[in-house]
Structure 1
């Protein structure tokens, strides 16, 4: 799927996401905008808080190219600058 390949190389900061599944049940259902990305984590700004999620523990739903995509967060593991260059 070309969209999947493209989203993995896409800049994530600014995208709206929803955690649809997580090894940490308290993260399930969180919705917000990605404001920071590290090798292993994403920081999400929700309505009133900033939450940190580990990429390898979540499945995410996000909009990309006018579609909703569900993707395993572990596909984003790596330094953002290296992941984008692939």
Structure 2
């Protein structure tokens, strides 16, 4: 299935380039890189563990489209999010 802005929240995030747009922790804002791993509560972006809850992210899709996603919308186990 091709990644689109509409189905991004239900898609695999590992491997996508991401930037932390907003975070309660000002030191995390602007962190960018590839998503190396994902857990229920966090994204590992180039070795930095960023909580999903309370943050917003910009994901770069393979076609070059940038999509802003509220971290609360992707909170939860990746396998459960993909199934829903």
Shift >4 Å, 4+ stretches: none
Which residue is 1:16 aligned to? 17
TM-align CA RMSD: 1.3
- Count of residue pairs the alignment pairs up: 80
Aligned partner of 2:55 in structure 1 is 58
Match of 2:43 in 1: 42
Deviation at 1:3, TM superposition (A): 2.3
**TM-score using structure 1 length:** 0.86
TM-score if structure 2 supplies the norm length? Answer: 0.87
- Find the aligned partners of 2:52 and 2:10 in 1 and give their Cα distance: 15
Instruction: Please report how far the alpha carbon of residue 57 of structure 1 lies from its aligned counterpart in structure 2 after TM superposition.
Output: 2.3
Higher helix share: 1
Which consecutive residues of structure 2, in runs of 5 or more, have no partner in the other structure?
Answer: none
